[in-house]
Amino acid sequence: MSDTARATEPRVLIRPDKDTFLAEENPFEAMMERFDHAAKLLNLDPGLYKVLRNPEKQIIVSVPVVRDSGEVEVYTGYRVLYNTSRGPAKGGIRFDLNVTLEEVKALAAWMTWKCALVNIPFGGSKGGVVCDPTAMSMGELERLTRRYTSGIIETLGPDSDVPAPDVNTNERVMAWIMDTYSMHKRHTVTAVVTGKPVEMGGSLGRREATGRGCTFVTREALARLGMALKGARIAVQGFGNVGSITADLLAKEGAVIVAVADKSGGLHNPQGLDVPDLLRWVRERRQLAGYPKADPITGEELLTTDCDVLVPAATENVITRKNAPNIRAKIICEGANGPTTAAADKVLEEKGIFVIPDILANAGGVTVSYFEWVQDRGGYFWDEETVNRRLESIMVKSFHDVVALADKHKVNTRIAAYMLAVGRVAAMHRLRGMYA
């Protein structure tokens, strides 16, 4: 089958345990299960409960692209605005064959809770195009990005909806979105996207922000358990933006990175991997596989490897009720969005594993995206030290807010994080009232 054909084929999931997938791995249902729990503890009134259970807007667009061969291919793109009560919608765009509307809805909801949790004035959105960017040339990717942007252009804008990079999108893609939007508006609008190249209004520190945020909250969690970051043994799944930077920054703080994995496979060395050397390897070969100075392991083995901190930083639903009983880490820092299913949460809680939930752990990215948006709108740019210091202050405060709420209500950290976030969104709705 050609890559082009594969990119537009309906997604067929072949799983041995289909019922488990349906019940446990629907990301929107997984999000809703946690939301429901938090809503109950918050005593949300039934009307507000209904409002917050539904996305505000869901857009589906067909994205025609002329391939280099001259053939026309049509891709499906989504943009979901989940809730904008606290400010403009904020959320990344991913290019991936696994993108579905359910996934985009879940990711948009998570963005809503995440922005509220770190108390920045944004709502939540997310977008995606069902495609395989690894099978596309730069020209094809540019045409796809620009046509998708024009398809959703009415929703975009610094005051309405501000995209950022996510899986398989990067600064280059953000630059194309910014240019396309600006050409339509007839003037340059840098604040329409974040995660742009620094030369065109991006923020210093944005590229590293999610990994840096993970590092801060991991340090705080270790301290809470009476452990030092220096010498802590860390396993990281995913070696892209979030995973590789988290591994690099934690190693620089003296942690020992015992295992890493990407789509191509995993590597293990209980004495510690040489992260700068791995980064060089991946820069040249675009994958971890074949790296000679470590033992190969599978992604599944990585999750259950002996370590102090497990950082799932790849994709959703990797920690399930099947593998959760075998996880040996004391702390899980969720760099990825939705890496743990709701069923697995219960197992982790019973095992006493301290979970830094995704909407807290990976909020560093959107926090510095907020800084970027502020800098673009003010036309005044901060130095990197200022960005990192302000990021640290927000991440550390949010961590302690969540832990304090968990202690107060005797709930796990994920439910506490949802309670804090949903409570803030609900408070805004109550103050604004219902427009009728």
Binding site for ligand NAD (CB under 6 A): 165-168, 210, 237-243, 261-263, 299, 313-315, 335-337, 362, 365
Residue 126 appears among annotated catalytic residues: yes
Q: Pick between residue 237 and residue 413 the one whose CB is nearest to ligand NAD.
A: 237
Q: How far is the CB of 217 from ligand NAD (least distance, A)?
A: 13
Q: Pick between residue 359 and residue 422 the one whose CB is nearest to ligand NAD.
A: 359
φ, ψ of residue 338 to 5 degrees: the values are: 65, 35
Q: Do 55 and 81 touch, CB atoms closer than 8 A?
A: yes
Burial class (CB in 10 A: 0-12, 13-18, 19+), 154: exposed
Spatial distance between the Cα atoms of 249 and 386, rounded to a whole number of angstroms: 18
- The tokens describing 378, both together, are 């003010």
Spatial distance between the Cα atoms of 123 and 113, rounded to a whole number of angstroms: 8
End-to-end CA distance of the chain: 52
Q: How far is the CB of 208 from ligand NAD (least distance, A)?
A: 9
Q: How far is the CB of 434 from ligand NAD (least distance, A)?
A: 32
Q: How far is the CB of 315 from ligand NAD (least distance, A)?
A: 5
φ, ψ of residue 286 to 5 degrees: the values are: 65, 15
Q: How far is the CB of 254 from ligand NAD (least distance, A)?
A: 23
Q: Pick between residue 366 and residue 425 the one whose CB is nearest to ligand NAD.
A: 366
Query: Residue number with the shortest CB distance to ligand NAD?
Result: 240
Q: Write the DSSP assignment of 261-300 as a string of letters.
A: EETTEEEE-TT---HHHHHHHHHHHSSSTT-SSSEEE-HH
Q: Write the DSSP assignment of 148-208 as a string of letters.
A: HHHHTTTT-BTTTEEEEE-TT--HHHHHHHHHHHHHHHTS--GGG-SS--GGGTPPTTHHH
Q: Pick between residue 185 and residue 285 the one whose CB is nearest to ligand NAD.
A: 285
Spatial distance between the Cα atoms of 314 and 96, rounded to a whole number of angstroms: 13
Spatial distance between the Cα atoms of 394 and 36, rounded to a whole number of angstroms: 26
Q: Pick between residue 201 and residue 240 the one whose CB is nearest to ligand NAD.
A: 240
Q: Pick between residue 149 and residue 168 the one whose CB is nearest to ligand NAD.
A: 168
Q: Do 58 and 428 touch, CB atoms closer than 8 A?
A: no
| Residue from 90, 105, 114, 126 carrying the catalytic annotation | 126
Q: How far is the CB of 73 from ligand NAD (least distance, A)?
A: 22
Q: How far is the CB of 311 from ligand NAD (least distance, A)?
A: 10
Sequence-ordered list of residues with C-beta below 8 angstroms from that of 176, at least 6 positions apart, any chain: 142, 145, 146, 149
Q: Pick between residue 263 and residue 328 the one whose CB is nearest to ligand NAD.
A: 263
φ, ψ of residue 226 to 5 degrees: the values are: 75, 25
- List b or e across 202-232, with b for residues whose CB sees 16 or more CB atoms inside 10 angstroms: bbbbbbbbbbbbbbbbbbbbbeeeebebeeb
Q: How far is the CB of 240 from ligand NAD (least distance, A)?
A: 2
Q: Pick between residue 210 and residue 320 the one whose CB is nearest to ligand NAD.
A: 210
| Residues classed as catalytic | 126
